[in-house]
Amino acid sequence: MADMDSSTTTIYMPIVSPPTPAPSPGPSTPVLSSFAALSLAGAQSGLDPLTLFAAMPPHQRHRFLASLLTVCTPEELVHISSTVTNMLRRDFLHDLPPELAVYILGFLDDPHTLSRASCVSKYWSSLVKDEWLWKRLCAVHGFVPDPHLLRSHLFNDLGTASPTLPNQFHYRRHFRTEYLTVSNWRTGGTLVRTHRALTATPAPTQGSPPPARDSPQSSAIPTSLALDSEWVVVGLANSRIHVFSAKTGVLSRTLVGHGSGVWAVSLIIGSGEAVAAKESVEDDKEPVPFDKDMTDGERHLPRPMRRALGLHYPLTYDSSNDPPTGLPSDPAGSTLGWGQPSSLVVSGGCDKDLRVWDVKSGYCIYTLRGHTSTIRCLKVLHHRPIAVSGSRDCTIRVWDVQRGRQLRVLEGHESSVRSLDVCGNKVVTGSYDTTCRLWDVDTGECLHVLRGHFHQVYSVAFDGVRIASGGIDTTVRVWDAETGVCLALLQGHTALVTLLQLTSTVLVTGGSDGRVITFSLIPRPCSTSAVPQPFHVIQKLAAHDSTVTSLQLDDRFLVTAGNDGRVRLFAFDADTGLCHYVREMSEPSESVWKVGFVRGTAAVMCRRAGKTIMEVWRFRPKGA
C-alpha cells in the first residue's frame, strides 16, 4: 500500500483557452475608401460628393450610411438622432381631408386640450377654429344657447340686433364666454356697483316735521326683484321702483307713480329691434296701425309709447320650440316678450293699481285699476301681453298690458291670494283659505280646486305638469296638473315653507327653519314596491340659521339667502340632484332681503349697519 502510494502521480488535464474573438472590422478603411472614391469621382466629374451619394443605388447608400455611423462619437450620434427625429415627424392631420381631421379633433372634450392643439401649427389652428367643434363642445358642457333668447339677447359685433343673427352666431365665442362665466361663478365675480340707502327712520331735528311713512329715508326696503341680462328692477316699500343696468350696476331709472309700497314687479324682455326698419315712413307721418279697433286711450298714447308696446305692427313669435304645456315662468322674474321693441316693467302694490312702464324712458304707459286691496303677487305670460295679478281682495285679475285693459276676473278664493305661478295659458294660485286653484287664463275657468293643506298656503310652483304648494303646516304637496290629484305629501321642514322651485328633475324647497331640501321627481326602485317611487328626499341642506329669504336654482348652481345675513352658492349636479357648497357670495350682513341672478349677473339686497345695500355682481368676462 505504501509502495502504491509512493508511486501515485497527479495528472493535470490541459485546458484549452477559448478562441480570441476576431477583431471588429475596422470601418476606417471602407469609409475612407468610399470617401476617396466619392472625392475622386467628384474631382473627375466636377460634381459635389453629396450629389454623387444621391445618385448611388439604395443598397450602396445603406452600406455607406451604416459604415459612417460606426465612426461617429456619442455626441455626434445624439445630434444625428435629434435631427433624424425631427425630420421623421409627420403632421398626420395635414395628410387627411379637412372634414376627417375636424372629426378627429371632435373627440376632444377638454377645451384646454383643444386650445393647445391650435398652437401646434397654423393648419391646426385653422382646424380648431371650425364652428362645428365648438358647437359640439357647447352641447357637451351644457352651453347650448336658448332658442327663445336668441332674438332678444344675442347681438352682432356692432352691438345691434340683427335679423340674420342665427346664421352669424359664433359658437367658439359663445363657448369661451360661457366657460369663463361659470369659472367666475366658482371663484368670485366682480362687484361692479354698490348702492346704499338709509332704512332706519332718522331722529327728527327740533322744529322739523317727522318723515312721511313711505318716505325714501324711512322705508327703502326691497320687496320684489326681477332681472335679465340687461336690467335689474327692484320694487321698494317706499313706492319707488329702481332700474339698474345689469352690466354696469348704474342706477338708470327711478319709476315714480305708485302711491304706496310696491310688492310685485315683472320685467318683460324687449326684442331690441329697430322699429324704424319696419316703418318706411317719414318721421312727421303717423304709420297706420294694424288694428283698426284701437281705443281712445291707445290713440292718445305718445307715439314712442305705442312703438314701445308694438302697437303699430302685428308681432308674432315662433312657438315650435315651446313644450306642449307652454313655457314655465322664469325664477329671475323676467318674461319673454311678444316682440315689442322696448323692455317693459309691470308692477303692483299697496295702492291697488297695476302699472305698465317703459324701461327706456321711465314713462308710465298705463295705470290699470280694478283691485280693491293690495296686489300681492304678479306674473306675465311668455310671448303674450297677458299679466295675472293676485290680491288681498281674494280675486285674480287678468290684464292685457299691451292694450291697457282688464280682460277678466277670476273669483273663487275666500281669502287673500298670497302667491301664483304661470305656465303656458294656465295659472296656479295659493291662498290663505288653505287651497290652491288651477285656472285657464283664456277662459277664466277654474280647472281644479286643490284641497289638502291645513293652514295658509304661502308658496306655489308650476311647470305645466306638476303643481307644488307649501305653507304654514310645514308640508309640501305635489299635485297632478291634469287631474288635480295629490301625488305626494313631502315632509322635512319644521316651520313655514316659504319658497319653492320646480325643475324637470327636482323640487327645491326653502323654509323658515333655515333648511333647503331637494326632492327627486324621477322614480327610483323601491325595495317595498315593484313600481319605482318618485318624490324621495335627495338632500337636506342646513343652509341658514334662520328663514330662507331667497332661493334660485339653474342647471349649474343653487343660490340661497337668509335672515342670518348670508348668501351661499352651491354647485348643482343635475345627474344626481346633489348640491355641494362652493363659497359665500357676499360679505356677511344683518339680513338679506332678496337675491336673484341670471348667468352673467347677480343682485344682492341686504342690510348692513342700518342701511339697505344693493350689490350688483358681474360674472361675464370683460368685453362680453
Quick check: 372 and 341 in contact, CB under 8 A? no
pLDDT value of position 67: 82
pLDDT value of position 319: 67
Res. 494: pLDDT tops 70: yes
Q: What's the number of CA atoms in the CB half-sphere (13 Å) around residue 275? A: 22
pLDDT value of position 91: 79
Mean pLDDT of the chain: 83
Q: Facing residues of 278 across strands?
A: none
Least confident of 55-59, 234-238, 371-375, 452-456: 55-59
Res. 203: pLDDT tops 90: no
Grade residue 156 by pLDDT with cuts at 50, 70 and 90.
Answer: very low
pLDDT value of position 205: 37
Helix (H, G, I), strand (E, B) or coil at 399: strand
pLDDT value of position 95: 81
Res. 34: pLDDT tops 60: no
Mean pLDDT value of segment 479-504: 94
* Backbone phi, psi, residue 177, to 5°: -65, -45
Mean pLDDT value of segment 376-394: 95
* Backbone phi, psi, residue 305, to 5°: -75, -35
pLDDT value of position 57: 85
Helices (H), 440-552: none
Res. 154: pLDDT tops 50: no
Residue 120: which region, alpha, beta or left (left: phi > 0; alpha: psi -120 to 50)?
A: alpha
State the Cα–Cα distance between residues 330 and 337, nearest whole angstrom: 12
Res. 348: pLDDT tops 60: yes
Q: Which of 465, 478, 506, 149 is nearest to 326 (CA)?
A: 465
288 CB contacts (<8 Å, ≥6 apart)? none
Q: Give the H or E element holding residue 348.
A: strand 344-349
Q: For residue 27, give the C-alpha cell.
A: 470601418
State the Cα–Cα distance between residues 196 and 217, nearest whole angstrom: 11
Grade residue 315 by pLDDT with cuts at 50, 70 and 90.
Answer: low
Residue with more model confidence, 523 or 555 = 555
Mean pLDDT value of segment 438-466: 95
Residue 415 amino acid letter:
S
pLDDT value of position 216: 43
Least confident of 75-79, 125-129, 150-154, 201-205: 201-205
pLDDT value of position 13: 57
Mean pLDDT value of segment 343-372: 95
Q: Give the H or E element holding residue 275.
A: none
Rg value, the chain, Cα: 38
pLDDT value of position 164: 40
Quick check: 319 and 236 in contact, CB under 8 A? no
Res. 404: pLDDT tops 70: yes
Q: Which of 212, 217, 218, 216 is nearest to 241 (CA)?
A: 216
Grade residue 624 by pLDDT with cuts at 50, 70 and 90.
Answer: low
Least confident of 150-154, 157-161, 558-562: 157-161
> How many of the other CB atoms lie within 10 Å of CB of 78?
11
Residue with more model confidence, 25 or 254 = 254
Grade residue 307 by pLDDT with cuts at 50, 70 and 90.
Answer: confident
Grade residue 347 by pLDDT with cuts at 50, 70 and 90.
Answer: very high
Quick check: 336 and 424 in contact, CB under 8 A? no
Please list, residue by residue across 233-253, b when 16 or more beta carbons sit within 10 angstroms of its beta carbon and e when fewer do. Answer: bbbbbbbbbbbbbbbebebbb
State the Cα–Cα distance between residues 58 and 50, nearest whole angstrom: 14
379 CB contacts (<8 Å, ≥6 apart)? 266, 329, 335, 387, 388, 420, 421, 422, 427
Residue with more model confidence, 217 or 70 = 70
Res. 393: pLDDT tops 90: yes
Q: What percent of the residues of the chain are helix, what percent strand, and what percent coil, each to the nearest 5?
A: 20, 35, 45
Least confident of 136-145, 370-379, 382-391, 605-614: 136-145
Give the tens place of pLDDT for each residue, 108-130.
Answer: 889 999 989 888 888 889 999 99
> How many of the other CB atoms lie within 10 Å of CB of 505?
14
Q: Which of 573, 492, 493, 496 is nearest to 536 (CA)?
A: 492
Q: In the 8-state DSSP scheme, what is residue 276?
A: G
pLDDT value of position 2: 44
Helices (H), 409-562: none
Q: Give the H or E element holding residue 354.
A: strand 354-358
pLDDT value of position 15: 59
Res. 23: pLDDT tops 60: no
pLDDT value of position 153: 45
pLDDT value of position 532: 61
Residue with more model confidence, 502 or 306 = 502
Distance, CA of 374 to chain centre: 34
Least confident of 69-83, 328-342, 360-374: 69-83
Grade residue 317 by pLDDT with cuts at 50, 70 and 90.
Answer: low
Res. 214: pLDDT tops 50: no
> Burial, 152: exposed, middle or buried (Cβ in 10 Å; 0-12, 13-18, 19+)?
buried
pLDDT value of position 472: 95
Res. 586: pLDDT tops 60: yes
122 CB contacts (<8 Å, ≥6 apart)? none
Q: For residue 153, give the C-alpha cell.
A: 339677447
Residue with more model confidence, 561 or 299 = 561
Grade residue 11 by pLDDT with cuts at 50, 70 and 90.
Answer: low
Least confident of 216-225, 339-348, 380-389: 216-225
Res. 343: pLDDT tops 50: yes
Res. 160: pLDDT tops 60: no
C-alpha dihedral, 423 to 576 to 537 to 447, nearest 10°: 20
Q: How far is CA 118 from CA 115, 123, 176, 292, 544, in A?
A: 5, 8, 15, 59, 46
Res. 310: pLDDT tops 90: no
pLDDT value of position 574: 87
Least confident of 158-172, 370-384, 550-564: 158-172
